[in-house]
Amino acid sequence: MSFLIARSIDDAVAAMAQGARPVAGGSDLVVGARHGVDSLPDDLVAIDRIRELAQIEVNTDGCAIGAGVTHARLMVDETIVRRYPGLADAAALVGSPATRNVGTVGGNIMNGSPAMDTGAPLLVLEATVELRSEVGTRTLPIAGLWTGPRHTAASATELCTSIFLSTPRDRSSSAYVRLEYRRAMEIAVVGAAASVQLNDDGTIAATKIALTAVAPTVVAISVDLIGRPADEQALAMVAAAASDQATPISDLRASDHYRRHTIGVMAKRAFDAAARRAQGEHIAVPVNRTLGIGASS
C-alpha cells in the first residue's frame, strides 16, 4: 500500500508498472470508490503535479493537450476556444466550477463513461491519444480507445499523457450540445458533437457526428452530407441518422424511447452550431448557454 506524488511522467509510469493507479483530481476515482464501483486502489500515484501533463502545446501540425489539463482551463484556453470550440463547449458543461478545477480531460476519456462530455467532441475532431508505459509510447486514434462502458484499450500500466488534435482546415468548426435537466452537477442525458468543414460555395466538404450516452461508448455515426448545403434538409438527415443509429438504454435518467428521440434533436443542433461557426458566425462557448439548449435558469 503506497501513495506517491509523481513529479514526472517517468515517475508515474514506474509506479504504475508496480501496480499503482493514477489519480489526478480524484473526482471519478473517489466518488466511484464510495459507490462501490471499484474500491480505492491500494497503491496510488498522484499525477496532478506533473508539469508535462498540464501543457497545451501548439505547433504547425496541431495542438497537443496534456492529459492533466483541467476542464476549467480547456473551456477558456484561447487556442481551444478558437480552433476546437466543440471541446470547449463540452469542458464548460462538466460538473460545477469545483469539478472543473480538479477534473482533467485525460481522466474524463480514460474513465470511459459513455456519458463523458469531452469524448464526443474529441471523436469528431479525430483526436489521437498518447499512452505511455515503462515499455514505451504508443498512439491510437480515440475511436479505438473505448472498448465498452468504463473500459479502454489501455493496459493498467499505461498512462494517458496527451491528446493530439490536427490543425483545423479553413472554413471548419465544431460544437457540442447536451440535453440536461439542470445547469450544473449534471451528467448528459444525451449529447452530441459535430465537426463541419465547408466548401467555398457553402456546401459541406466533410462532417463528423458523435453521440454521448446513447450506446455502450461514445460513438460516431455516419450520414452522407458531402456536397449538400447545410440547410433544413441536412439537419433533418442528421436528426434521423442519430435517432436511427443510437442504441440507448432506459435508466433512471431517461427511457430508451426518450433518448432515441432527443438524440436526434441534439445531433441536429450540434451540427447546426458547428456549420454556423464554420461559416464564421460567433457562437460563444458553451453552445448550450448561448443558444438556450438544455436547462434554463
Partner 1 sequence: MSDSVVAVNLRVNGTEYPLAIAMSRNLLGVLRNEVGLTGTKEGCDDCECGACMVLLDGQPVNSCSYLAVQAQGRQVTTVEGLVVDDKLHDLQRNILEAGGVQCGFCTPGMLMSACALLERNPTPTREEIQLGISGNLCRCTGYARIIDAIERSI
Q: Write out the residues near partner 1 by the rule CB under 8 A.
A: 1-3, 5, 23, 25-27, 30-31, 33-34, 39-44, 46, 48, 72, 95-99, 101-102, 183-185, 297
- Residue 289 Cβ, how far from partner 1 at the closest point, in Å? 8
- CB 90 to partner 1: min, Å: 16
C-alpha count within 13 angstroms, C-beta hemisphere, residue 276? 16
User: What's the min distance (Å) between Cβ of 98 and partner 1?
Assistant: 4
Comparing C-alpha atoms, which of 259, 223, 262, 266 is closest to residue 241? 223
What cell does 170 get?
Answer: 479553413
Q: Which is nearer to partner 1, 30 or 156 (CB)?
A: 30
Smallest separation (angstroms) from partner 1 to the CB of 92: 10
Query: Which lies closer to partner 1 via its Cβ, residue 253 or residue 261?
Result: 253
Q: What's the grid cell of residue 105?
A: 480531460
Let me know how long the chain is.
297
Least distance to partner 1, CB of residue 182, Å: 9
Nearer to partner 1, 180 or 272 (CB): 180
| Phi, psi (degrees; rounded to nearest 5) at 83 | -95, -35
Cα separation values, 103 from 54, 118, 132, 276, Å: 12, 11, 20, 30
Residue 185: CB minimum distance to partner 1, A = 5
* Burial category of 141 from C-beta neighbours within 10 Å (exposed 0-12, middle 13-18, buried 19 and up): exposed
The residue (of 4 and 249) whose beta carbon lies closer to partner 1 is: 4
For the packed helices 85-93 and 256-278, what is the interaxial angle rounded to 10 degrees? 140
Nearer to partner 1, 64 or 283 (CB): 283
Cell 498522484 found at? 46
Identify the burial level of 213 via C-beta atoms within 10 angstroms of its C-beta, where 0-12 means exposed, 13-18 middle and 19 or more buried.
buried
Q: Toward partner 1, which CB reaches closer, 42 or 281?
A: 42
Nearer to partner 1, 2 or 139 (CB): 2
| Per-residue cell: 187 | 451528467
Interior/surface letters 148-160, b for 16+ CB within 10 angstroms, e for the rest: eebebebeebbbb
| Nearest distance from C-beta of residue 150 to partner 1, angstroms | 18
User: The C-alpha cell of 254 is what?
Assistant: 431517461
